[in-house]
Amino acid sequence: GAGLLWDMGPGARYWLLLASYLAFLLLGSAVFMAIEGPPERRLWEQLLGHLAAFQADYQDCLPPGRLAPLLEGVLRAQAYGVSALGNATEPENWDFASALFFAVSVLTTTGYGHTALLSDGGKAFCVGFAGLGLPAGLVLVAVLRQPLLRRLHHLVSWAATRCGLDPARVPWLQALLLGLMVGTIFVLLPALVLWDREDHWSLLDAFYFCFMSLSTIGLGDFVPGQDYHPALYWFYQLALICYLLLGLFTLLLTLEAVSELREVRVVVGFFSPSGSKSPEDQRGIVAQDALTLNNCPPPSTSPAPQGLAQGQVSPSRAS
C-alpha cells in the first residue's frame, strides 16, 4: 500500500486525500445516524406518552387546542436561553458576567449556543463585533505565539543538552511537552473538577465538554454552572472565560509546534497537489546559499594596468 502511494503522482495523491476525507465525513454521518436515531425515537415516544397522559388527566379542565400554544411559547423561549422552570434567584442570561462569557465564546469561535441574541440590534452588533474581533484575535495570537515558542524551544534545548539527548529530538520534545500540558491541565484536571461539582454530569460528560470547548465545536448541550447561586454563577463564568482563553491559546501553540516537525512537513509535501516544496521548505536552502556567497572572498578592486588589460607584457617582465 505504501509503495503504491509513492508510485502515484502528486496530483493523484492530493485527490486521494480529498476523497478519503469526504469518505470519512460520510462514514461519520452514517455512524451518528445509526447511534443517535434510536434514542431520539425513544425520547419522542416518551414525550408523546407524557402529552397523552396529561391530556387524559386534565381534559375536563383544559380547553381543546390551548396546550399547543403554551408549549410553543415555552419552547421558543427555551431556544433563546429563557427557561420556564426558572425562579427569581436564577441568574440572568445578560448580566455582565454572562455577556462577557458570550463575547469570549464568539471571539474564540466556540459559540455554545445556550444563550441566543434576542434583538435585531444585538445581532447586527454581533456581526460587527466578530468581524473586527476575530482578525484582531488572530493578530494577537501571532504576536504572542513566536516569543513563547522561542522561549520554550530554548528551555527544551537546555534540558535536552543537560540530559545528553540528541538535539534533533528537541522539536519532538517541545510538541510532546505542549501536548501533555493540554491533555492534563486543560482536559484531565478540568474534567475531574466538573465531574465532582456538576451533579448530573458523568465523567464522560465532563471530558466531552472539555474537548468540545477546546476544539471550538461548542455544541452547548453541556455548560457548567447554570443551576448555581448567582455568586457561584459569576465565579463559574469567569473561570470558564480564563479556561477558554488559556486553553485555546495553549492548543494553538501545540498545533504550531506539531506543524513545524520535519515529519509533518514531509507528509504535507507528499500530499501536495504540485509536489513542489513550499517557501518554508526552501528557506533553509536559500539561507545556506546566501551564507556560501557571503564567505566567498571579495573580488579585487584595484584596477589592472592598462597594458595588461590590453594583453601587453609589463615592462618589468620585458626586461
Q: Is residue 243 part of a domain?
A: yes
Provide the percentage of residues in the chain whose pLDDT is more than 70.
76
Same domain, 112 and 47: no
Predicted confidence at residue 294, as pLDDT, reads 46
Maximum pairwise Cα distance, the chain: 138
Same domain, 51 and 118: no
Same domain, 236 and 209: yes
- Among 28-32, 131-135, 306-310, the minimum mean pLDDT is found in 306-310
Domain range holding 177? 95-275
In the predicted model, is pLDDT for residue 245 greater than 50? yes
Q: What is the overall mean pLDDT for the chain?
A: 78
Q: Is residue 148 part of a domain?
A: yes
What's the structural domain count of the chain? 2
Predicted confidence at residue 86, as pLDDT, reads 57
Same domain, 72 and 215: no
End-to-end CA distance of the chain: 79
3 state DSSP class of 261:
coil
Q: What is the pTM of this model?
A: 0.68
C-alpha cell at 107: 471571539
CA angle 315, 316, 319 (to 5 degrees): 85
Q: Is residue 227 part of a domain?
A: yes
Q: Is residue 301 part of a domain?
A: no
DSSP 34: H
Q: Is residue 106 part of a domain?
A: yes
Residue with cell 400554544: 69
C-alpha cell at 250: 495553549
Same domain, 209 and 136: yes
Same domain, 138 and 179: yes
220-232: per-residue pLDDT in tens?
788 887 666 666 7
Same domain, 55 and 122: no
Contacts of 298 (CB under 8 A, 6+ apart): none
Average pLDDT over residues 56-81: 73
In the predicted model, is pLDDT for residue 218 greater than 60? yes
Same domain, 35 and 140: no
